Amino acid sequence: MLSTMTISNKGFQLERCEDLLETMIDLIEDEAFPSEEDDDDDDDDLSSQERRIWTGPQLLRQIDDAASICEPSLELRGPRQKPAVVILATLNLLRNLAMLPENARFISRNPRVLDVIARLSEVVDEGETFRPSSKAFELVDLLRIHHEVTSIIANLGSHISLSIHRPRTSRRLYSMLISPLVDPENIVKPLHPGFHDVTLPVPHIDMALDAFSRLAQQDANRKVLARVIPQSELTIHFHALVHMLPISEDDFNVTVSSAPVLDTWMGYLERLVQCIYNLIFLSPPSLKRTWRKVPGLTATFLRMIRFYLEGVRSDRATFAASQFEKNSYSVMARRAFEALSLLDVAETRSIPSPLRLWPLRLPSWTALVCRRNLEGC
């Protein structure tokens, strides 16, 4: 109820009761890490510390295996709630409060917030198994915590400045956000089984894309991430995101199948392309040159750009305006073109001409508009 209260028609403003935010963070920390200090050694040269990338399905399999082997233990806690319940309730409150722009700015200025929730969301690799960073909850609770933390990151958005946080915070958040995206056993394509015969983006995938696209949107944040993420993880992440792009005709048709799904898929594609752009931007030149040589990469991007800017489905029905200024997909197309341009810079060591990378078979007047707009990239 606290997060739905209104003050001056602007919602509940945390800035008017500064102690509340500190109290919530103290509560999370006390429940999750009683008398446990965070190890400062974790900040040493994070970019060279390669770790096994975990995925949601891996955690689910471990949870299922543990449930089939033994019965869950019942801990006698008296009238107190389990730590996981308290933590999730507090995170839910924090997420709701962060929906207001004023609160998002206020929360982002406190470095403890991200430091604590990033530590809370960390998955510890113990060789054959994984475990939460806290002994106060189990893996099944950790999955719920990841959902809440991802929502908080998305709400805080561009207000986050990673430079005021510990390096390990950036590493932990990155690991959590990419985990739903890099599962080799479950590459998410636009064409997948939907609900009630309507195919929409997978919610937890869309949420992770939204959070990472916002977190890494600022150049300063990209520089921080570039210092703490190993190149091997960047490559795995890049390939996973590229494989999520629409490739087949069925993939394209799903995203424009009917008017009710257009906006949802448009937002999804914008976030996906923005995430790819972020990765390319923060990667070193040597990695860019390697990615530039990925077979079919340029063709995939250009086909996607052409399809959405033409605005015509395979059945010749129109779903978007063919004029660049009026085309709703122009933001996504422009960002996709900029991503290719960044790769081309690394390959040629020179600033690429937008005209050279724009072999679209569009009406001449449309192509001229596209070129004119993209020259300002």
pLDDT tens per residue across span 8-58: 566 788 888 878 999 999 999 999 998 777 765 555 556 556 677 777 777
The list of the chain residues with pLDDT below 50 reads 1, 69-74, 76, 195-197, 351-370, 372-377
Please give the pLDDT value at position 44: 56
Predicted pLDDT at 151? 96
129: left (phi over 0), alpha (psi -120 to 50) or beta: beta
* Per-residue model confidence (pLDDT) at position 363: 41
The confidence score (pLDDT) of residue 210 equals 95
pLDDT of residue 87: 95
The answer for residues whose C-beta is within 8 angstroms of residue 166's C-beta and 6 or more apart is 43, 111, 115
- The phi, psi pair for 130, rounded to 5°, reads -120, 160
The pLDDT assigned to 184 comes to 65
| Residue 176 near residue 150, CB atoms below 8 Å | yes
C-alpha distance across the termini of the chain, in Å = 45
Q: What pLDDT is stored for residue 70 in this prediction?
A: 46
Other C-beta atoms lying within 10 Å of the C-beta of residue 155: 23
- The pLDDT, as a whole number, for residue 48 is 56
